[in-house]
Amino acid sequence: MTTEMAALSGLFPVDKTLERWLRNKATEAAILNDRTTRLRITHERVDELFADPLTADRDAVYAKQLYLNLDTLAPYVSGPDSVKVGTPLHKLAPQHIKINRAYIISCTNSRASDLAAAAKVFKDTAKANPDTPPKIAEGVQLYIAAASAPEQEAAEAVGDWQTLLDAGAQALPAGCGPCIGLGIGLLEPGEVGIRGRVGHRDAQTYLASPEVVAASALKGVISGPDTYKIPKNWSGVEYGYGTSAEATTENKLSNFLQQMESLIERVESVETPESKVDILPGFPEKISGEIIFCDADNLNTDGIYPGKYTYQDNLSKEDMAHVCMENYDPQFNSITRPNDILVSGYNFGCGSSREQAATAILAKQIPLVVAGSLGNIFSRNSFNNALMCLEVPRLVQRLRTHFPSPSNNDTKRPLTRRTGWTLTWDVKRSLVEVQEGEGGETWTEQVGELSRNVQEIIAAGGLEAWVKAELGKATAVAS
């Protein structure tokens, strides 16, 4: 989930819940000879961890603090088609959204506990209707795949796996499959399923808990188990900025100082004198091209490079170029031209990490991606593969002002637009110049410096090629 939020890493405080989990794993590893964790998770190591637990300093400074009251959470369903869209189950269920396929799969879910939660839905239904064995609704297919072979064995040992099979579920091998668009069980055009990234781009996909998936498969529409009750007096999830703790003079002053420091940093970044970057011999001092605008926020790596091609190592560069952005816009290939500059919205390249999201854009002969903000993993993958990226929020705002979208659901809205605008990145001066079409306004924006070591990686054709070259130099010197 940290990756989905475009963060590079996430830290969580260690608590008693985590300690109990680690203690159970340590005991399990000590008893069972087949556990590979027996050297990594031991009671001695757990003792060391909790003797000096990782905690934030009392005077730690944060760019932003957010709080979420977990007591106000109710079951949610994400979608359709984006984890950024969430609806409380008790608001979605009355819509009776028919589904075609349901999945309890993937490496991050489908643990023994998830399979147990799903199986319980069928067991509870059997208890309530002892004369009628619970079966998956007509016209629905339920697929199950454990997160790993040991997780499947654990589910089999307690009977949960068999309960799901008896209800009509189809078993798939543990590991990657439909959730990345591979194998059997993929959504067809027009179908609705409870899971994302699992087939045709014209299918609608939702993401939900194992209980909701099982209940939906049982009833044929998105719904919760019969035991689910709508929360009383529920008025929404309580969340906001800060910590939700009672305000004190001390934390008010601390918050004010943090805001002032952030404001000063932003002003200084705007007023910084024009810099001059040392350009490597042969490295382009300027990169220029027409702006191609893909007006979408949270355009993830599945939209950029479909998961079904991820493990097809025999795809040529031409083939990769042809399917680039296929899930986002099938017309992208015919609209774009070599040396175009791709501009998109915020959190571009979020989602699962795959380097093909960067290399497919390069195969399309697009040398530069500009966005309001970039997913951190995509940004790193891009530079590692010699694709240059910039964050210029002002450009996205200007484009949206000139090319407004009436509605995200407007089927006539162009997903990929040739703007007639040009962007020139003066690498040496760390300056972007935008010409807003013929006779339009011209403006500039200071951007971050492209350091010499990053230039070296890009000039070499990516990090792998750079490492090989450096190793070659070292070998030549040694010999």
pLDDT digits (tens, 9 = 90+) for 199-242: 566 778 888 999 999 999 999 999 988 766 776 777 888 888 87
Phi, psi of 53, deg, nearest 5 = -70, 150
End-to-end CA distance of the chain: give it in Å, rounded.
48
Residue ranges of E strands in 97-238: 101-104, 141-144, 170-171, 192-194, 204-205
Q: How far is CA 400 from CA 41, 283, 350, 396, in A?
A: 52, 32, 21, 6
Distance CA 235, CA 88 (A): 11
pLDDT digits (tens, 9 = 90+) for 381-409: 999 999 999 999 999 999 999 998 755 55
Report the greatest alpha carbon distance in the chain. Answer: 81
Residues 363 and 321 sit within 8 Å (Cβ to Cβ): yes
pLDDT digits (tens, 9 = 90+) for 15-58: 888 899 899 989 988 888 877 788 889 999 999 989 988 888 88
Distance CA 126, CA 155 (A): 19
HSE at residue 274, side-chain half, CA atoms within 13 A, is 8
Three-class SS of residue 422? strand
Question: Per this entry, what is the length of the chain?
Answer: 479
pLDDT of residue 411 exceeding 70, the answer is no
Q: How far is CA 329 from CA 85, 298, 336, 411, in A?
A: 20, 14, 11, 12
Residues 462 and 384 sit within 8 Å (Cβ to Cβ): yes
pLDDT digits (tens, 9 = 90+) for 62-107: 878 888 888 888 888 988 877 778 888 988 899 999 999 898 987 6
Distance CA 392, CA 388 (A): 13
More confident residue, 70 or 443: 443
Buried b (16+ CB within 10 A) or exposed e, 312-323: eeebeeeebbbb
Distance CA 98, CA 455 (A): 52
Parallel, antiparallel or unpaired: strands 101-104 and 141-144: parallel
pLDDT digits (tens, 9 = 90+) for 164-175: 999 999 998 887
Distance CA 70, CA 273 (A): 47
Parallel, antiparallel or unpaired: strands 286-294 and 341-344: parallel
Supply the pTM of this predicted model: 0.71
